[in-house]
Structure 1
Amino acid sequence: MKIIEVPQFGPMFRFSDANIYWALHLLSDGRRIGRKKLSEMVGVGEGSMRKIIDTLKNWNYVIVRQTGITITKSGQAFLSQIPIRVVDVELGDSTVGSFSQSVLVMGVADRVYNGMQQRDAGIKVGATGCTTVVIRDGALMIPPDWNVDERNPELAYKIRKETGITQNDAIIVGSADTKMLAVEAAINAAFELI
């Protein structure tokens, strides 16, 4: 999935679609956030955040005031149509890296083969990787063949309860040495699936 097209000419963007999604996600709770604070929370420079905000403002997804930036109803609608939900699931030893971030990606389980594509998508942005979880034949699996239900029933129960994963969904857990890289890894891998 692409949110913004990268220009063919001129300077390259120093942010990704994952950064744009995360900015909208952070604004989705209705709080006003200043540009500087938002750039810190998203993990991009202020110049990149200015470009993200200008783009979102032109699309009528955010309102910029002196008191901060807020998301609009159009922005909320756009965000809700993306089949990704941020979830908090820790996979313990199944991930590598000091920080992790999980996302539930709806309706893409049939596009997950062995999890290597998601791992590579995470590594591409500088993370240590991504771990993918799907349901196969009723069992919670980390592809290709690690059965979470058999090996760690407590974790499997927790994942099912906290995420609401269905047979059609995938959970991607980005892992990295920083929180923002973990976030970007998970969202980048999710965008490659949708």
Structure 2
Amino acid sequence: MSFSSYFAGGPTPKFNAYHIWKAHQVVAKEGPIGRKALAELLQIGEGSTRTILDKMMREGSIESSRLGITITERGKRKLDTSGVEVRQIDLSDLTLGKYNCAVLIKGSAERVHLGCEQRDEAVRAGAVGATTLVVSNSRIVFPGDEEFPDQSLVAPLKNYFRMDDGDVIIIGSAFNYEAAEKGAVTAALSLSNISRRCWNEGTSILSQDTEADDLRCLALAIHELLGRLPVTMRSKNHPGVRCEEGEIIDTRFTGPMLEESMKKGMIIRRTSTSGPYRGMPVIAVPIMRKKEAIACIATMDLGKGTPSELLTRLAERS
């Protein structure tokens, strides 16, 4: 389930992908429901709720009447085919918190490394922790270790989900169910976006040892295609290049977002907190080969403005 259109343009919203998913789920389950009641269930403001509902309405996922908001057949299909299933479970022998929420993500095992990234996403969302499991050879196991856990501990999961090899289960854990669910679903939605939009299975044009001189032409071409927005690019084992105003201005460049994107093998999208683009919205995209990030490219996030708007903001900082 992709929610990228909900975040395109304008100021940074006061909601996240979990709130959008939850809005779909609540309207499907509780509808017809009023906007105020939905805002209370989502635990966000009515303004943010209105923004979510407006976009759901435009994409045909909901309809409104004097009785309230209801889900449409299109909205049901979007939810049913999202590849994400959510259940409240009890696996206290395997998890940290009193309450647990399990999320099944279909066919995403190749995007999981050791599960640390999913745990971190869940904790940032308010959970105590998260346990990531993958299905391999019809067994439910820890990523990278097919001997554990004991199958008796995870057997209850088979009562909740129909699983196939390559599926992922993320179990969010917390001291109340709402926090466990928010953590697990946030981690699951983040996982579903890790490599779907990354450049994957790259060619011999790039490798983890590509040096700055060999990145020049590609980086400059992308720089021009983006209306001369700043572009930075590096390989795994070498610093890279930085392009501005049609020129290569640095051949020893790296940055924390480039490094984080390569380390996690996932798209990083946030306001830069350091370096030459501090305070600007930046997106860093890893280039993957055989499940490993071999290089990364970053530029201004076009979801936060047009090239001319972003260049104006950048110039005003100088």
Fold match by TM threshold 0.5:
yes
Check 1:103–1:45 CA distance in 2 against 1; reply closer, same or farther (3 A cut). same
In structure 2, C-alpha distance between the alignment counterparts of 1:190 and 1:53, rounded to whole Å: 22
Q: In the alignment, is the contact (CA less than 8 A) between 2:6 and 2:55 conserved in 1?
A: no
Q: In the alignment, is the contact (CA less than 8 A) between 1:122 and 1:174 conserved in 2?
A: yes
Q: In the alignment, is the contact (CA less than 8 A) between 1:139 and 1:149 conserved in 2?
A: no
What residue in structure 1 maps to residue 247 of structure 2?
none
Aligned positions, number? 190
Return 100-109 or 178-187, whichever deviates more. 178-187
Q: In the alignment, is the contact (CA less than 8 A) between 2:138 and 2:164 conserved in 1?
A: no
What residue in structure 2 maps to residue 181 of structure 1?
179
Cα displacement (A) at 1:144: 4.7
In the alignment, structure 1 segments of 5+ residues that lack a partner are: none
Q: Does 1:63 align with 2:63?
A: yes
What residue in structure 2 maps to residue 45 of structure 1?
45
In our comparison, the structure showing a higher alpha carbon Rg is: 2
Return 132-141 or 164-173, whichever deviates more. 132-141
What residue in structure 2 maps to residue 129 of structure 1?
129
Q: Secondary structure at the match of 2:130?
A: strand
In structure 2, C-alpha distance between the alignment counterparts of 1:5 and 1:49, rounded to whole Å: 12
In structure 1, C-alpha distance between the alignment counterparts of 2:66 and 2:96, rounded to whole Å: 41
Residue type of the alignment partner of 2:165: Q
Q: In the alignment, is the contact (CA less than 8 A) between 2:32 and 2:68 conserved in 1?
A: yes
What residue in structure 1 maps to residue 35 of structure 2?
35
Check 1:57–1:8 CA distance in 2 against 1; reply closer, same or farther (3 A cut). closer
In structure 1, C-alpha distance between the alignment counterparts of 2:46 and 2:98, rounded to whole Å: 26
Cα displacement (A) at 1:183: 2.0
Cα displacement (A) at 1:34: 1.8
Q: In the alignment, is the contact (CA less than 8 A) between 1:33 and 1:68 conserved in 2?
A: yes
Cα displacement (A) at 1:119: 0.2
Q: Secondary structure at the match of 1:163?
A: coil
Check 1:46–1:99 CA distance in 2 against 1; reply closer, same or farther (3 A cut). farther
Listed as ranges, the matches of 1:140-155 within 5 Å are 140-145=140-145, 147-150=148-151, 153=152, 155=153
Cα displacement (A) at 1:156: 2.6
Cα displacement (A) at 1:108: 0.7
Cα displacement (A) at 1:5: 4.3
Cα displacement (A) at 1:60: 1.5
Cα displacement (A) at 1:127: 2.3
Residue type of the alignment partner of 2:15: F
Return 163-172 or 133-142, whichever deviates more. 133-142
Check 1:179–1:47 CA distance in 2 against 1; reply closer, same or farther (3 A cut). farther
Check 1:177–1:49 CA distance in 2 against 1; reply closer, same or farther (3 A cut). farther
Cα displacement (A) at 1:30: 6.6
Deviations 1:91-127 (A, max 9, x none): 2142223433221110112222211111011122232
Higher relative contact order (CA 8 A, sep 6+): 1
Check 1:121–1:169 CA distance in 2 against 1; reply closer, same or farther (3 A cut). same
TM-score (norm 1): 0.84
Deviations 1:37-56 (A, max 9, x none): 22222232222212111111
Residue type of the alignment partner of 1:47: G
Q: Secondary structure at the match of 2:7?
A: coil
In structure 1, C-alpha distance between the alignment counterparts of 2:46 and 2:177, rounded to whole Å: 18
Q: In the alignment, is the contact (CA less than 8 A) between 2:88 and 2:100 conserved in 1?
A: no
What residue in structure 2 maps to residue 192 of structure 1?
190
Q: Secondary structure at the match of 1:148?
A: coil
Check 1:49–1:78 CA distance in 2 against 1; reply closer, same or farther (3 A cut). same
In structure 2, C-alpha distance between the alignment counterparts of 1:5 and 1:72, rounded to whole Å: 18
Cα displacement (A) at 1:9: 4.0
% same residue: 32
Cα displacement (A) at 1:133: 1.9
What residue in structure 1 maps to residue 94 of structure 2?
94
Check 1:78–1:171 CA distance in 2 against 1; reply closer, same or farther (3 A cut). same
Deviations 1:25-76 (A, max 9, x none): 1222473122222222223222221211111112221112221110011111
What residue in structure 2 maps to residue 107 of structure 1?
107
Q: CA RMSD in A?
A: 2.3
